[in-house]
Amino acid sequence: MDHLTLKALKPTEYTEAADGYRAISSMADAATGRIDKQITVGMRKANEGEAADAALKQLRKLSENFHYTHVECGLITGALDGFASEIAAPKRRLVEALDDAAALGYTVNEDGTITYPAGGSNGLTGDPIPGATTTGDADRGAGRYTPGLGPDTSGLRSPNPHQAKAQDIADRIAHSVQEATEIDDRYSKALNKLKAASGLNVDTKTWADVASDVGGCELSGH
């Protein structure tokens, strides 16, 4: 994840995808109920013998498949909704930082560094103090940096009045990207666990995997 990717990301696309999976989950649940409460019951009343038993066995398998689809699509729905909700905060902070940079006329480079112009004047010569490019620090951007306990920042201070503003923006960008990357990694791992193999047979082992999937999708509280 970089700031360009985060800027382009649209959380609403993930909520829309979640709505699609939610609809599939609801349809699968309705199909399970219809098979179990209507079709199977009716077949038991109307038919007997080996053919009926074989048909009922297939109906039970179909019911299990629909139930599995209902549960797994529900988990995917929750993961997509959760991702969209969590990613919105770092994206908002990134956009605010980019807007501040634009308002001040600073250049945001592809790597997230900030280039600021000359400003102020040299007390000896009267010449403008040159601009420069500064790199952000995610810890400072998150307010986790404590002077004296972190890396030496004496080299960051500059008589150019643009430097401090540019550094603040770069730090906020770095923090936004770091936070978004952590969120993306967490939800990507959870969603990858929900992939079903082709020709899946829903059995006891499958439901054990579902239980594991449920644990993997409980992402709140990190």
pLDDT in tens, 133-184: 999 999 887 776 544 444 444 445 678 899 999 999 999 999 999 999 999 9
At 179, the amino acid letter reads E
Note the pLDDT tens digit of each residue in 118-147: 988 876 777 888 999 999 999 887 776 544
Give the list of residues 6+ apart from residue 24 with CB closer than 8 angstroms, or none: 69, 73
Q: Could you tell me what percent of the chain has a pLDDT over 90? A: 49
Rounded Cα distance, 132 and 173, in Å: 17
At 50, the amino acid letter reads E
- Over 70: is that where the pLDDT of 215 sits? no
Q: Where are the domains of the chain?
A: 12-198
Note the pLDDT tens digit of each residue in 9-29: 999 999 999 999 999 999 999
For the range 52-58, what are the long-range contacts, defined as Cβ-Cβ under 8 Å and sequence gap of 24 or more?
none
| Predicted structure pTM score | 0.75
At 154, the amino acid letter reads S
Give, as one character, the DSSP assignment of residue 148: T
Closest of 88, 106, 81, 80 to residue 164, by C-alpha: 106
* CA distances in angstroms from 150 to 137, 146, 147, 158, listed in the order given: 11, 6, 6, 19
pLDDT band at 200 (very low <50, low <70, confident <90, very high): low
Strands (E), 75-190: 107-108, 114-116, 132-134
Q: For residue 37, what are its two tokens?
A: 């409460």
pLDDT of residue 64: 86
Q: Could you tell me what percent of the chain has a pLDDT over 70? A: 80
pLDDT of residue 185: 95
* Range in 49-63, 68-82, 180-194 with the lowest mean pLDDT: 49-63
Over residues 25-44, mean pLDDT: 86
Q: For residue 171, what are its two tokens?
A: 């730090």
Q: How many other β-carbons are positioned within 10 Å of the β-carbon of residue 79?
A: 24
- Over 60: is that where the pLDDT of 51 sits? yes
- Over 70: is that where the pLDDT of 204 sits? no
